[in-house]
């Protein structure tokens, strides 16, 4: 069944400020960013990961991909996050999958090359740098394995 999601991204949170992130259900983006302390500004350079959790702050604090995210940083860069609140496990997972399939962040593995859900429309607003503001994702065909009866002999 076709679904549509409106994701309003809030943030941005630099790594030293993740304690201020919402401890709520949502989808989040992880960026390689440059912080200018003199101007108090952050420049988002690359979207490197998209994830989801029932508690975004706790998930990010304990995320197993921190070492992988850090390896993506160039000199002078740091990790930065944004968050779009969305409730419901199924909706959160589907919205995350659509975001990953569309944007293909370098540190994601699941959903990069396949989308196992029905047609999904996503609108992003707010602090959504480097994310498309509107897109539609269609289900990808499921690959069939070759067994003894259907493959080469």
Kindly report the CATH number assigned to the domain that includes residue 59: 3.40.1440.10
Structural domain includes residue 149: no
Structural domain includes residue 40: yes
Containing 95, the helix (H) or strand (E) segment is helix 89-103
- The model carries a pTM of 0.91
C-alpha–C-alpha distance, residues 139 and 111, integer Å: 11
Whether 49 contacts 65, CB under 8 Å: yes
Summarize the confidence of residues 57-80 as an average pLDDT. Answer: 97
- Which pLDDT value is given to residue 51? 98
Q: Which domain holds residue 70?
A: 3-137
Identify the band that residue 143 occupies on the pLDDT scale cut at 50, 70 and 90.
low
Torsion angle, alpha carbons of 81, 61, 93, 13, to 10: -20
Structural domain includes residue 100: yes
- Is the pLDDT reported for residue 144 higher than 80? no
Percentage, residues of the chain above pLDDT 70 = 93
Q: What would the pLDDT profile of 25-40 be if each residue is shown by its tens digit?
A: 999 999 999 999 999 8
Q: How many domains does the chain have?
A: 1
């Amino acid at each position: 069944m076709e679904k549509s999601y409106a994701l309003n991204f809030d943030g941005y949170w630099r790594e030293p400020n993740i304690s201020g992130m919402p401890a709520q259900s949502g989808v989040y983006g992880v960026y390689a960013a440059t912080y200018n302390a003199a101007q108090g500004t952050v420049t988002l350079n690359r979207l490197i990961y998209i994830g989801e959790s029932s508690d975004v702050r706790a998930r990010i604090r304990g995320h197993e991909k921190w070492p992988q995210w850090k390896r993506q940083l160039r000199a002078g860069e740091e990790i930065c996050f944004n968050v779009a609140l969305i409730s419901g496990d199924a909706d959160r997972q589907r919205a995350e999958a659509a975001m990953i399939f569309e944007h293909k962040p370098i540190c994601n593995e699941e959903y990069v090359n396949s989308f196992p859900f029905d047609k999904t429309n996503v609108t992003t607003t707010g602090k959504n740098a480097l994310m498309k503001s509107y897109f539609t994702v269609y289900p990808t065909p499921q690959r069939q394995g070759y067994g003894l009866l259907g493959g080469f002999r």
